[in-house]
Amino acid sequence: MKYQLTRRDALKIAMAGVATSAIGCTNQESDKLLATGPSNPTKLTKAKSSQWHKNHDRIFIGGEYWANPMENWCIKNGAAECVSTGGNRSIHSLVHQITDVTASFKTSVIVEKYHQGELDGGAGLRIGAKSDINEYKSNCFVQQGIDAGIIDGQLVLGKKRVHLNTPLKLNSAKIVLSGVPTNGIYALTAQAFDSNNQLLAELTDYYPASEVSGNIAVVSNFTLASEQTGPDNGSKFRFSDWQFEGNAICDIPDQKFGPILWSMYTLNDSRSDKGYILKLSALTGPLGKQDNHSLQLEVEKNGQWQQVAQAELDKDAWVATFVVENWQANSDFNYRVIYQESLTDNSQNTDTFSGIIKANPTERNLRMAALTCQNDYGFPYAPVAENVVKMNPDLVYFSGDQIYENHGGFGVIYAPADLAILNYLRKYYQFGWAFREAMRNAPTVVLPDDHDILQGNLWGEGGNAMSDEAVASGRTDNAGGYISPVKLVNVVHKTHTGHHPDPVDPTPSARNISVYYTELVYGNVSFAIIADRQWKSGPETLNIDVGVTGNDEAPNYFNPDFDGEGLDLLGKRQEAFLEKWADDWRGHSLKAMLSQTVFAGISTHQPLPDRYLKYDFDSSGWPASARNRAIEIMRKSKALHICGDTHLGTLSQYGVNEQRDSNWAFCTPAISAGWPRWWRPDAMGLPMKNRPSHGLEQTGEYLDSFGNKIYVYAVANPQVGKSGNRYIQAHEKGSGFGFIEFDTQNKTYTTSAYKFLVDVSNNNADNQFPGWPVTIAQDENIGINKIG
């Protein structure tokens, strides 16, 4: 059953600019853009300027800015320097945008061409950079607007050019762009001045106010396309003394992102003399050798702030992790992370990130938000992010694919390792930027999946490297092993899981790749945190060509050649851990297993509803024998399996020896579904028995393409995403999020699957996908079934 974007949904999204509480600057004109910011942003009342001249040399440009891409920029000798000849490298102001198009503005910057190449792509200022929703975070990734700068001895304003009246000295000029509105039209004037403040050229042109509003940026090589690497004969630029003034520009310091970017924490009942253990990680941007590398954690007790821990930044992952044993878990506590940013004039700026360490919820039901897969066409995913905050969960869980290789544009880098890490970090920062409000006040579990380590698919082979032959093919989605360097993989693990309880066995896997499988006991629930990719066997083991093998087979044929002895899914170490975990009931009355993806092939069509693809070897339905072994272990725990990855929300029950004899699995909808999947077994003529009493199509008892027994109770099949608006398209593609309530007294799990474009506070029945909510009794996870 497909869900439709109703008129009510459309009205909700059209009104988002009025109703939302998201922080952001928006234009005031009615320009048919979906706006997501406050209606009355604070105006800039006095001139502001960049402070790069006070910063030590480093990669991180500063909390007031977003650099595109981060790995191509640095602060050097008091200026922001682009180290690439690539096109459309930019720095956007996060705290200043043009929002009031009835007022005047002026912005200026000093531009220096520090590397003279034969090819000059120009450099200067850009205004009017805005996305389809004209929201400051999403605007940062727009590579167009109105440019004003210098190129090949000429001053540029939009499509106009004029030669400078004298050659530049020291390849440096001050570019000034000012705007004065009249009757909805801006007169824009661009000027170039030399180091002696002598006017070199001036241009004036006229633009509708709707083209002027939006982000303000400095841009290097603005006439060139943004290939991953720049031309060998290109030029490089540096920028300094960036200034803003005028009431058209907003001034919202709270939109700053850094130096402390966000924090994540867990609170775990160690059931030992260490009591409850708080682990909290704080991430910063990549800092320099002369910067301070120490952070402090303070907690408010009896109205006084007390330091409880100090931690040093990991200089690869740029994360500091605090550990506090014997935490007082029966009360809420305000916390703040403090960073003292040292400056070149020996002064300091104090940055803080604050939140609440919640009390362990043992006297009521535990409420968990479960999210997965955020393709950045939907960034910053405000409808989902705001709904999670509204629901105020006790625990937030991200099951993987916090990033994709295409995040933020500018390509993906695999080597050298240090540059690959920076490439990864700036993509990962989009995740924290979007969801830090949801994470600051609740324990958070974050699992890395294949795209997080910059692979299309991951069969980890216990940490082995991908073969040279597979790497040479140019694909990252058809062979076992890791393509990324070990140093990068370990940074991914650290930034995702550094705040989790310590691994039950920290011994690294092959090639010294770190491990993170562990147990979290919180709210009278024990969570087994599992890596269902790291030890998984590669498909080439059985000469499988992913996406090709089996396409000529009949849907009802189960190929025995696609399974075999010695194939792994979870690996022996994690299987041994789950065996012990299933039998250990100290300190809790319910269990759940958290991993990346569902242990069945619950998809028939991708990426279009009429394109049948029989085998999805990326699913944890393969290898079938290893899948069955994992479920037989998990069955003893009576755990609910909570996962994601497929971009298709499903609620199902596993079968091994017979249908419905094992655990239920909730695969949550994607936050922002990219590659869509459908479950349409009825259309393929797959045999079905025992359709649930609700009568929804594509539900009941089936065998997946690997012969695994599955009972599909609910499925959130998408539409084809066609809208030009990112949020409407995400809604069409079946995006949303999951929510689970653990009733530890009555021993039940209530699962909910919310659509992308809803307001959870109104409790409308159509907020959820068809078939949800569903309450599952604990004993149903061993086949004592009530649901039918």
Return the structure tokens found at 564: 């075999």
**520-538: pLDDT as tens digits:** 999 999 999 999 999 999 9
Question: Which residues are CB-contacts of 197 (< 8 A; sequence separation ≥ 6)?
Answer: 174
- Rounded average pLDDT over 361-382: 97
Coil, helix or strand for 510? helix
DSSP three-state, residue 451:
helix
Lowest-confidence range among 68-82, 134-148, 159-173?
159-173
pLDDT confidence of residue 25: 39
Terminal Cα-to-Cα distance of the chain (whole angstroms):
18
The 10 Å Cβ neighbour count of residue 49 is 14
User: What pLDDT score was predicted for residue 18?
Assistant: 29
Strands (E), 99-222: 105-115, 123-129, 146-151, 154-157, 160-163, 172-182, 185-193, 199-208, 214-220
Domain at 260-357: CATH architecture: Sandwich (2.60)
Q: What is the pLDDT of residues 207-224, one digit of tens each?
A: 999 999 999 999 999 999
CA distance 253 to 255: 5
pLDDT of residue 340: 98
Report the top-level CATH class of 7-255.
mainly beta
Give the pLDDT of residue 42: 87
Measure the CA angle with vertex 517, ends 568 and 442; round to 5°.
140
**3-state SS, one letter per residue, for 139-162:** HCCCCCCEEEEEECCEEEECCEEE
**DSSP code, position 313:** P
622-648 per-position pLDDT tens digit: 999 999 999 999 999 999 999 999 999
Q: 366-409+499-782 belongs to which CATH class?
A: alpha beta
The two beta strands, 348-357 and 304-312, are unpaired
Nearest partner of 514 among 527, 531, 526, judged by Cα: 531
CA-to-CA separations, 7 to 1, 49, 352, 737, in angstroms, rounded: 18, 46, 43, 21
pLDDT band at 33 (very low <50, low <70, confident <90, very high): very low
Instruction: Read off the pLDDT of each residue in 688-710 and give the average, rounded to a whole number.
Output: 97
pLDDT tens track for 303-322: 999 999 999 999 999 999 99
**Of the listed ranges 37-51, 264-278, 400-414, 686-700, the one predicted with least confidence:** 37-51
Residue 93 has pLDDT above 90, yes or no: yes
Percent of the residues in the chain that have a pLDDT greater than 70, as a whole number: 95
Q: Tell me if 73 sits within 8 A of 80, measured CB to CB.
A: yes
- pLDDT at site 171: 87
The β-bridge partners of 342 are 348
pLDDT at res. 40 = 57
Helix (H) or strand (E) holding 733: none
In the chain, domain spans: 7-255, 260-357, 366-409+499-782
pLDDT in tens, 230-263: 899 999 999 999 999 999 999 999 999 999 999 9
- C-alpha 787: how far from its chain's center? 35
Average pLDDT of the chain is 94
Which residue in this structure is represented by tokens 């079934």? Answer: 785
CB 700 within 8 A of CB 405: no
Distance CA 563, CA 550 (A): 13
Using an 8 Å Cβ cutoff, are 296 and 308 in contact?
no
Q: Report which residue type is found at 564.
A: G
Q: In angstroms, rounded to a whole number, what is the distance separating the alpha carbons of residues 605 and 588?
A: 40
- Sort 536 into a burial class: Cβ within 10 Å, 0-12 / 13-18 / 19+: buried
Which residues, in sequence order, are CB contacts of 554 under 8 Å at separation 6+?
Answer: none
